[in-house]
Chain A
Amino acid sequence: MIQLSATHILYLVEAARWTVLLSLIAFAGGALVGLPLALMRVSRSKLLRGLASVYIQIVQGTPLLIVLFLSYFGLGILGYKLDPLVAAGISFTIYAAAFLGEIWRGCIEAVPKTQWEASDCLGLNPVQQYAYVILPQAVRIATPPTVGFMVQIVKNTSLASVIGFVELARAGQIVNNSTFEPFAIFAVVGAIYFAICYPLSVVGRYLERKANAGR
């Protein structure tokens, strides 16, 4: 049996970079698709509302694991053999967009209706109302739940190991297979996850305070 060494720890830290990268992709992709989804959900058009709602219902009702299987093995059978990182990136984007879309819809709707009325009476058109009055207030409301969801994403990236993506959790397993010191190894893995997630919460709290500073 091999002893747990600094090399192993280094290996874990390097794998953690993939965890961070996948988290960033998930968040960026999720935000890029999630914001239009949120706006569709609060739009006046029944069709847009319906489409966004169907998407969100389906994705929220499907385990992330299944989305991963579909985009890696499913597309593979169809001849689109994707790199595990690409497949995982797509899956996490699909997943994060549905949840962020729904979180942000709630935040947009939480801005009082009277803010719409007041800005309407001043002559602002709907785009101006969104850009200058509604969204800035929605962002303030959205900060805590968005940060909370990002922390969830970081932890959920461990699921990507099932399609052969070697991120932090998978790397922990690999090290464990050779050293068989699960308690030590997974404690280190847990500590690294914490080291990624804790700063997120701190930044979240800072943003929240900053947003409220002017009030």
Chain B
Amino acid sequence: MPEGEAVVRVRDVIKEFGPLRVLDGVGFEVTRGQTVAIVGRSGSGKSTLLRCVAGLETIQGGSIEVCGHPVGRPGSAARAQLRRDVGMVFQSYNLFPHLTVERNITLALTLVKKQSRDDARKRAAEVLGLVGLTDKLGAYPEQLSGGQQQRVAIARSLALQPQVMLFDEVTSALDPELTAEVLGVMEDLARRGMTMITVTHEMGFARRVADLVVFMHKGKVWEIGPTAELFANPRTAEFRQFVGSEL
């Protein structure tokens, strides 16, 4: 896929939880190599939006395409393709507590990618190197700090070589020092040209790293645009207020 073409296309997405409409006609596009920051207050629908792109929520209207394929239903060929294209990192890390760091990473490599145990181990060491945790191969998640766990979670996702990485408030459970080490890994990824969508409260990170900022408010894309431009000239009172309160 050439540079500049949309890797993720979200169009008029509607998501309802019972009578509550959480996403109300949301649309945006992400091109290859872009880092997108989705920002907004709690309850604005930003995490739900990301979960819809990851196929973790079914949508009631609109469409989502990743790398030209629809998100699809669980068990469909389209969904299997989505799983190959998209990596997801969660706020609560969600490592498998009964498995070592290495096995956390090799599990999907051997089961889904059908790699040999040896190849998978090599890949695990490689991606752990990228997040600076090569020495933690044999550790269990509980023996690691939150920041280390989150870096392992990022490595686990990276190992599968996704086209797009989704980050759902991945530093919200961490104290500032550990937040910095995780954000450092993410900046590094962005520099290497990974296409990323991050839902974040870290305005400093959004300003520094994101190419595109999406401001969500009341289930809608309230403002969207190149980062510097958007922060310099907020068009709406809501975004101005949001930026003011976050700083």
Contact = CB atoms under 8 A, between A and B. Distances in A.
* Chain B interface size range: 20 to 34
Interface residues of A, number: 20
B140 A115 contact: no
Interface string A119-151: 111111100100011001100100000000000
A63 interface: no
Given A214-B140, A215-B140, A121 B98 contact: no
B54 interface: yes
B130 interface: no
Interface of B is mostly: loop
Given A132-B107, A214-B140, A215-B142, A123 B94 contact: no
A112 B157 CA distance: 19
Given A114-B90, A114-B92, A117-B90, A122 B98 contact: no
Interface in B35-60: 54, 56
Contacts of B95: 118
Interface string A195-215: 000000000000000000011
Contact of B54 (A121, A124, A214): A121
What are the nearest 3 A-B pairs in CB distance? A118-B94, A123-B83, A122-B108
B80 interface: yes
A128 B75 CA distance: 13
B96 interface: yes
B206 interface: no
B111 interface: yes
B123 interface: no
6 contacts: A114-B94, A117-B90, A120-B56, A121-B56, A121-B83, A128-B112
Nearest to A133: B96
Interface of B: 54, 56, 74-75, 80, 83-84, 86-88, 90, 92, 94-98, 100, 107-108, 111-112, 140, 142, 156-157, 160
A112 B96 CA distance: 11
B98 A214 contact: yes
Contacts, number: 61
Interface of A: 112, 114-115, 117-125, 128, 132-133, 136-137, 140, 214-215
Interface of A is mostly: helix
A114 to B, nearest CB: 5
Contacts of A114: 90, 92, 94
Nearest to A122: B108
Contact of A122 (B56, B74, B75, B112): B112
Nearest to A139: B98
Contacts of B98: 136-137, 140, 214
Given A117-B94, A121-B86, A137-B96, 15 more contacts: A117-B90, A118-B95, A120-B74, A120-B83, A121-B54, A121-B88, A122-B107, A123-B83, A123-B108, A123-B112, A123-B160, A124-B108, A124-B111, A128-B112, A133-B96
Contacts of A112: 94
A115 B56 CA distance: 12
For B86, B95, B107, B140, the residue with the greatest tally of chain A CB atoms inside 10 Å of its CB is B107
A115 B94 contact: yes
B28 to A, nearest CB: 21
Nearest to B141: A215
Contacts of B112: 122-124, 128
B160 A122 contact: yes
A188 B144 CA distance: 52
Contacts of B107: 122, 124, 132-133
A123 B96 contact: no
For B87, B92, B96, B156, the residue with the greatest tally of chain A CB atoms inside 10 Å of its CB is B96
A99 B107 CA distance: 33
Contacts of A132: 96, 107, 111
Contacts of B160: 122-123
A122 B83 contact: yes
Given A117-B90, A118-B96, A128-B111, A123 B80 contact: yes
